[in-house]
Amino acid sequence: MGAGRAVGLLLGVAADAVFGDPKRFHPVAAFGRAAAGLEQRVYRDHHVAGAAYSAALVGGTVLAGVVVERASRRRWWLQALTTGLVTWAVLGGRSLAAEGTAMGRELDSGDVDAARARLPHLCGREPSRLDSLGLARATVESVAENTSDAVVAPLLWGSVFGVPGLVGYRAANTLDAMVGHRSPRYRRFGWASARLDDLANLLPARVAAVLTVFGAPVVGGSASQALETWRRDGSAHPSPNAGQVEAAFAGALEIRLGGRTVYGHGAEERPVLGHGRQPDSGHVTRAVELSRVVGFGAAFLSAFVALFRR
């Protein structure tokens, strides 16, 4: 079982690196449509309704994953194939790198309007109020957080629980993106989805921060600053997880992140992470490189865990 799962995880990482997201019939997009349809039927401005909504969607997805895992576990090559296909479907490493690279290119050319138009592909902030430095900061923070959410976390869950872990995590993370924010509509209904995503990312976010520390020198960054900033500032962020990897990225790139953050539903005053200069287009490019390094580190770590886990 361990060998098939380990090989499958590495195959999925390779497929994501080469092909990116599936172009047609993307399972995550299909899940999102199903979740949106169910929301229209069951939405109530209440915690209980939101908890039932999250439990039904995540639980049903995990159950489907269990069926796939049990059907393939007696043949290591079949398990490798199914794990590889599912890993490819749930990872977002190449897409993240492509969007970050494109944003760095727009900022480097001085085309702020194009960068503002591209920012919603990375995060839910209000781009119209951001200048080039604000756009760069938002991009670096998004690349850091999504490196943990879209790469490290699914691989770690897959290494321990196989296909159910992969699809269950992606379901929880997708629901958090859809209904987990603090808008008036979702403050109660999305509470359970947001808390489930927080719980699912507690360990992966910290593993991502550790991998950032070790990967910093590969992109010309500072491992010592990454460790120091992570330990000092990681817990100051309002999210129990996003601040961990954002602080590590800030230290690794020797920049300053955090501060006033504007979303469509309102503004948040966030603590400052790091004590360097504000990020620019060059830091965006280096953040993408660091994201790739952390992703490949997570791939080999997850394969190791899957191979030797009993």
- The per-residue pLDDT for range 2-34, each reduced to its tens digit, is 899 999 999 999 999 999 887 777 889 899 999
DSSP letter at 110 equals T
Q: In whole angstroms, what is the distance from residue 97 CA to residue 20 CA?
A: 10
Q: Residue 111 in contact with residue 34, Cβ under 8 Å? A: no
Using the predicted structure, report yes or no on whether residue 86 has a pLDDT greater than 90. yes
- The per-residue pLDDT for range 152-165, each reduced to its tens digit, is 999 999 999 999 99
Relative orientation angle of helices 27-42 and 47-72, to the nearest 10 degrees: 150
Q: Residue 211 in contact with residue 294, Cβ under 8 Å? A: yes
- As a whole number of Å, the CA-based R_g of the chain is 19
Give the whole-number percent of the chain exceeding pLDDT 90.
81
Q: Does the global pTM surpass 0.85?
A: yes
Residue for token pair 């995880």: 9
- The per-residue pLDDT for range 113-170, each reduced to its tens digit, is 999 999 988 887 888 888 898 899 999 999 999 999 999 999 999 999 999 999 999 9
Average pLDDT, the chain: 93
Q: Check residue 129 and give its pLDDT.
A: 80
Pairing of strands 266-273, 257-263: antiparallel
DSSP string across 168-196:
HHHHHHHHHHHH-S-STTTTTTTHHHHHH
From residue 254, alpha-carbon distances to 53, 169, 190, 201 in Å are: 42, 31, 35, 25
Using the predicted structure, report yes or no on whether residue 265 has a pLDDT greater than 80. no
- Token pair belonging to 10: 């590495």
What torsion do the CA atoms of 56, 178, 91, 287 make, to the nearest 10 degrees?
Answer: -150
- The per-residue pLDDT for range 89-109, each reduced to its tens digit, is 999 999 999 999 999 999 999
Contacts of residue 265, Cβ cutoff 8 Å, sequence gap at least 6:
181, 182, 183, 184
- Note the residue count of the chain: 310
